[in-house]
Structure formats: C-alpha cells, structure tokens
Structure 1
C-alpha cells in the first residue's frame, strides 16, 4: 500500500512534470473507482492542473480550483505515460481504472498523462472530484499528519488510545499517513512489540516510538522524493528491515523475522529486537498445527 513517503514522492513528481498542463480529457474505465458525481469527471476537461500535494495517504490534484483526489488503497498506483493513444481505453480491461490526458509539454511533442491502476480482484482505489478536499469523507476524518505532530501531541494521542500499538499507528483518525509497512518498520526501530498497549508506554518508550516514527518516515522521504513513479516501489522495498521479510535474518541482530497473520493482512517483527526473544502467537499457524 502506498503510504506517506510514496504519496509525497508522487505528488512531488507531478508537481514537477504535470503542474501547468491542461487536462484535455479524463477516461474512466472502472466505474466503481469514482466515488462522486457532482462535479462530474468531465468538468476537469479544459482546466489547468495547478497543484499536486499529499493529505495523509491521499493524493490531491488541484485543477483550477476543483480537486481530483485519489486514494490508491492497497494495490493502486500512478503510472506516468508519454505519447498516450488518442482512442479511449476499453472499460473493464485489465488493471486500468482512470486515464488523465494532459496537454503537451512543448509544441510538436506528443501529449503526456498518467494512468491510475489497481491490481488484484479486491478493488479499493477511490477517486473523487470535489470542490474542497473536506468533501472527501476519508480526509474529513483524518488525524494530524504523522510528520506534523510534536512529541507532546503524539504522547497525548496515544494516552487516550486503548489498544495495540500496531493498530494505533495505522489508525488514520489518530495520525495520518502510516500504513502496514512503515508501522512494522517504526516498531522495529523503536524496539517495541506490535501488541504492546498504546496507553501503557513508559516515557522512554514514548520517546523511542516518536523518534522512530520521525526517522523512518523522513529517511524514506529522502530516498524516494525525486524518484520516478516506476522506481518508487523498488526503493521502498530496499529500505525495509522487517516488513515483507518473513523468514529472512533481521539486519540488526540476525534473528529470523517472524510474521503474524490476520484475516486480510499480516505484520512482521523481530523477536530479539522487539519481544524479548519470544515469538508472538499467530492464530493462523496455531490452527494449522492442531
């Protein structure tokens, strides 16, 4: 899932390559991706793309005062395209959900644009055309951005949260921008169990968690901002120490990275670094071993 660093990098790329261009046409190929009807997608045609920014994990494109807002969900992505074909794409064919055509960067050059795609059968990519970003329900519910809170604000947010740290970090109403991957990385850096209660942290643990959040996200931003969209996923994977590395050695201590699976997701952690050497219970594996 694209998280704060990837969406920030996509916004920076579009700021450099797309802002100032006219949106000449928008092709919708996945009806379920569009979540609004007023204004219609067609209202963007002929308007200029005037800004690109990030709000939590949402990508916000300002199009002459209207906002094309995108949430890439778990398997969505933005692909920059050159020399787009003039014929509209066929609906329901492949992962393409939406195509935005832009005016040429220079005279006598083919028009550019970008595709929004989503892999897999579970579709969560969401596109909104709104007059103000507050009209997007997910944005209206967001907590403060993960990189905007100071240490005291962060401590106050967690003090009122009853539940596990993993869930607290990924709760967008608490702090916005962190998803499954970076929450695993933050907890590993802070040397904290994902199952530890958010409201039971000591002062030292709070400092470690806050500093780990800042370091993990800012380091990822430094690696990714300036990259093209095609290389962002690889850059993200290259910086991960525990997430999606089940069975591999922890780069810090050498212990084997373990996994806990849930109904539709999983988390990864290092027992030595985070849980005093004790593996966490994995209900899925427990059932298989019965």
Structure 2
C-alpha cells in the first residue's frame, strides 16, 4: 500500500502530467470501487485538472470545482497512459473483471488508468465537492510532517493512547495520517523500539520516536522526489531496512530480521535493535516482551 512518501511523490508526478489538461471523461470499470453517486462522473467532462494533492493516503485530483479522491488500498495503483484507449479495454468482457478499475481520459486520449491487482477489491473512488465529504479524510489525524506537529503534541497523542501497542498507534489513520505497515516498521527500527511497546512512554523515548518518525518519512520523500509513478514501488522496496526483509541481516547490527504474522498482515523487526535480543511470539495474541 502506498504510504505518505509514495503518495506525496505520486501527487507531484500526477500534478505535472495532468495539471491544466481538459478532461474528456471518467470511465468506471469496477462499479464497486465508486463510492459516490452525486455529482455523477459525467460532470467531469470538459472540466480542467487543477492541483493534485493528498490527505494522508488519499490522492486528491481537483477537476474544475470537483475533487476526484482515490484511496489505492493494498493493491491499487495508477498507470500513466500516453495514447487513446481502445473502444473496449476487454472486448466481450464484463465490467469489474481484470485489474482496471477506472480510466481518466484527457482530451487527446492520454490519461491515467486506476488499477487494482488480486481478487480482494478494496480500492475506493470518490467524486465530491469537498474532500472533507470523504469519511476517511474527515477522520484523519494530523500530518506527522506538518510544521505545527510538535514533539509536545506527539507526546500528548502517545499519552492519550495509553497501553495501546505503539505499532498500532502509528498505523491508526485517525491518530496520525499517512503511516502504514511498512513505515511504522521502519520508524520503530530507527527508534530502537519494540512494536509491542505501550504508547505511553517517557518524554525522552517520545522525543526519540518523534525524531525517528520525521527523519524516516522525510528521507523516504527525498528518495522518491522526481520519480514517476512507475518507479515508486521499486524505490520504496529498495529503501526499506527491515520491512519485507525477513531472514536478511539487519543493516545496523547484523542480526537476522524476524517477522510476526497476523491474520491479514505481517510486520518485521530486528531483535537486537528493538527487543533486547528477544524474539517476539509469532501469533495473533502476542504479548509485549518487556
């Protein structure tokens, strides 16, 4: 799933490609992906693309006075298309089959294809007059890289989370916007903290985690700056230190990166750097190893 660094770079790339272009139409192939009905997608015809922004993990494409908001979920992505699409993407096929979920066609035929791999379809498309109408955006917590997000505010958030595991707190979009499974692993590794550590921690620990969070996200954004959408997944994977690297050596201490498997996700960590050398129990009901 694209997180704050990739969404930031994706918004910048799309802004350069789409900005100022008139829209011919928006074709919806996966009708389950479209979560709104008013205004209709036909209202985009003839309108021009303005700014492309993001809110947490949500992409926001301004078209005329409307906003095309995309949440790419776990397996969604955007592909730039230079040429006009064929009359039918899948001749004889049924809507909703295949990876194509929607297609934004600009005047002249170029545009973007919004795709989702796999059989579990979670990608969401909204056409709204105000981004705040999207429930997921309305619930978002603060941007961890905003200028007004201070160490003191972060410590207040952690204190309010109490005994909740810090891994879950970092990933909770209602608490902090834009951090997902991958970068929460990376942040905790940099901070040298167990994923199961309670969120309420000392001021010194909170400051260390704050610095790790901001530096990790900023470094990832810097690496992704200027890359096209097609290059972002590869860059993200190459820049990760522990996430997705089970069985490999930790780049800091040389220990073997371990993982914990949950019902629908996994996370990775380094025992030496983060848990005092103790492996975490690899089951859903894992307890904090103090």
**TM-score range, shorter-chain basis?**
over 0.9
Q: Quick one: which of 143, 146, 153 aligns to 1:145?
A: 143
- What corresponds to 1:210 in structure 2? 210
2:135 matched to 1:131? no
| Separation in 1, partners of 2:84, 2:161 | 48
Counterpart of 1:181 in structure 2 is 182
Corresponding position of 2:169:
168
Partner of 1:64: 64
What do the CA deviations read for 1:234-289 (whole angstroms, capped 9, x no partner)? Answer: 00011100000001000110000000011100110000000000000111799xxx
Q: CA deviation at 1:16?
A: 0.9
* 1:66-124 CA-partner distances (Å, limit 9, x unpaired): 000000001111111111324143423310100001124xxxxxx31001111111111
**Structure 2 CA distance for aligned equivalents of residues 188 and 247 of structure 1:** 16
* 1:122-157 superposed Cα distances (whole Å, 9 cap, x missing partner): 111000000101100000000111212111111111
1:189-204 matched pairs, under 5 angstroms? 189-199=190-200, 201-204=201-204
Alignment map for 1:42-61 (pairs within 5 Å): 42-61=42-61
The aligned counterpart of 1:108 is none
Counterpart Cα distance in 2 of 1:8 and 1:88: 32
Q: Which residue of 2 aligns with 1:74?
A: 74
CA distance in 2, matches of 1:161, 1:210: 15
The DSSP-based 3-state class of the residue aligned with 2:187 is helix
Query: Structure 1: how far apart are the matches of 2:145 and 2:40?
Result: 33
The CA RMSD measured in Å over matched residues stands at 1.3
For the 8 Å contact 1:67–1:133, the answer to whether it is kept is yes
Asked whether the equivalents of residues 27 and 89 of structure 1 are also in contact (C-alpha less than 8 Å), the reply is: no
More displaced stretch, 70-79 vs 201-210: 201-210
Residue correspondence of structure 1 range 1-290 to structure 2 within 5 A: 1-90=1-90, 91-104=95-108, 111-148=109-146, 149-162=149-162, 163-199=164-200, 201-283=201-283
Aligned-residue offset at 1:43 = 1.0
Q: Is the 8 A contact 1:48 1:64 kept in 2?
A: yes
> What secondary structure sits across from 1:176 in the alignment?
coil
Deviations 1:36-65 (A, max 9, x none): 000011111111001100101100001011
Aligned to 1:107: none
Q: Give the TM-score normalised by the residue count of structure 1.
A: 0.94
- SS of the aligned residue for 1:53 comes to strand
- Which runs of 5 or more structure 1 residues have no equivalent in the other structure? 105-110
Report the Cα distance in structure 2 between the residues aligned to 1:285 and 1:128, rounded to whole angstroms. 36
How many residue pairs match? The answer is 279
Partners of 2:284 and 2:142 in 1: CA distance: 34
- Alpha-carbon separation, structure 2, partners of 1:181 and 1:132: 30
TM-score normalised by the chain length of structure 2: 0.94
